[in-house]
Structure 1
Amino acid sequence: MTQPTKVTALVMAGKRSGALDPLAEQAGVSQKAVVPVHRVPMIERVVRQVAACPQVGAIRIVAHDRDEIAALPAIARLAEEGRLTFAEGRFNIVDSVFSGADGAQFPLLVTTADNCLVTPEGYSEFIAKCLETEAGGAAGLARKERVQEADPVGQKRFYKFRDGEFSNCNLYWLGSEKALGAAEIMREGGQFVKFPSRIIKAFGLMNLVRFRMGWGSKEKLFEQISRRFEVRLVPIELSDGHYAIDVDNQRTFDVTERILREREPATLAG
């Protein structure tokens, strides 16, 4: 009997150089990844959820400052078990992904330390759909209506396609080493809505035009981008709009904390 595919999870926990994140400063910690959200440091919360996903095997945290993260109880326990290791964070997220992928077993699930609302079921859904579609690379998206059902102010920017509007969930898939070239999608945090020049750099001018004009479905755009990178890239639509809400600023911190208070009994938060 064929053993199910075990995925290596990269949890991106780097920090922007040159300035202390405002949320970290407010919480009295040195990096955003360890800011508590509903009493639990973000990175510890995310790693717990990733570790509880049955399709995930090894876990790698990609970080600039590992000591503060390594001391967290859930992190320390997984490290002692040999399931969790660290990789060095680089200047930007793409180079950090390369650092995390070095010597790792593919396929890779890439998530971020501020993805506090993604559940083990969410990771399972994403992985299953990536495997079903035989994706070389993939990005998780949530439909606008689903995101607004989760919280009307949790996310305000959406990608417009002919088949609807979607938000990025900061969930990525790299099916093989060949797909690493497509990690360009994540450069500068993938904030293409705010910075269209990043689409030109990553995907080419014509794909920017298609994106801006809303020509074609998301599948069509990903098909065009696949040709550029010579790897099959797939948009993965996820069922829960919560997955598109990450902790990026004070507004999304407040939204996330409120949702977690509603979701989790106080006894489970500590």
Structure 2
Amino acid sequence: MSTPPEASPSRRLPSLLGVEAFVAVGRAQSFSRAAEQLNLTVSALSKRVAGLEALVGEALFLRSGATLSFTPCGLSLFAELSPIVDELGRILAPPAKSGSGKLVLHLPTSLAALWLIGELKNFHDTHPGLDLKIETGPHVTRHKRGAVDAAIRYGLGNWEDVKAERLIDGALAVFAVEPLDGEALSKTPLLGVSGAEDAWHGFFDELGASAAPSEPHIFENAQLMLEAAANGLGAALAPRILALPYLKAGRLTQAALPVLDLGRAFYFVAEPRRWEEEPIRQLREWLCTRAKLSSSAL
């Protein structure tokens, strides 16, 4: 019987705590916010990230005053590790008990990182009796008690399997480090998102152009695309709610160009039979309130 080859002694696996810390900082774009989320001191969090940087052999973040951004190595590593951390969380999470006041909300990774995480403290403060668990990743098609109780989906709101309530406008705008007009945009690299590769073609159709000047460089999700744009790699086309943290930080500027409205938006969805269950109703009403407040800043 053959035996499996032994692992090379020179090849070390990273600490899961270091990976968790790195992904948390990348999502929060702040060491202090990530430390608060993980219930760590900033010093302890920094040591975990430093351990991963030592293993990789490169810096993963750049600091310029109060601004934090990925290095090219950090951006590439974040794209690989972020979904792995989500999957580990899903696998290791204990099953929810029916009727326990625990809710599982699924939503796109970028919306969670760039909007919902910043709102969660308010939820915990105002709903101490509800235990909200966040799951992120690709669109879910089945809502199963104990797996996913509700979700936020991006689309037209006409799904047959769920009831939907509109939360946030999903019109697409152009964002880049420097202000862009039509002529400047035609000379700027385009950045896009997997699953929406044709969005730029629709945008240039709205401008009356015969075709996009170049094919976009595609990223796994909108957060990575916007982070690339904030690092000067090109122009991003994204819903304005996702760009709001970058606009507030002065890292991106919205171009003085038309907004592409395809009728899509972010919707709260749940099974019709569970729509008026008290925990789901409370979550829905809270999300609607927070979404209105955020939308007023756009």
- TM-score higher than 0.5 here? no
TM-score after normalising by structure 2? 0.27
TM-score after normalising by structure 1? 0.28
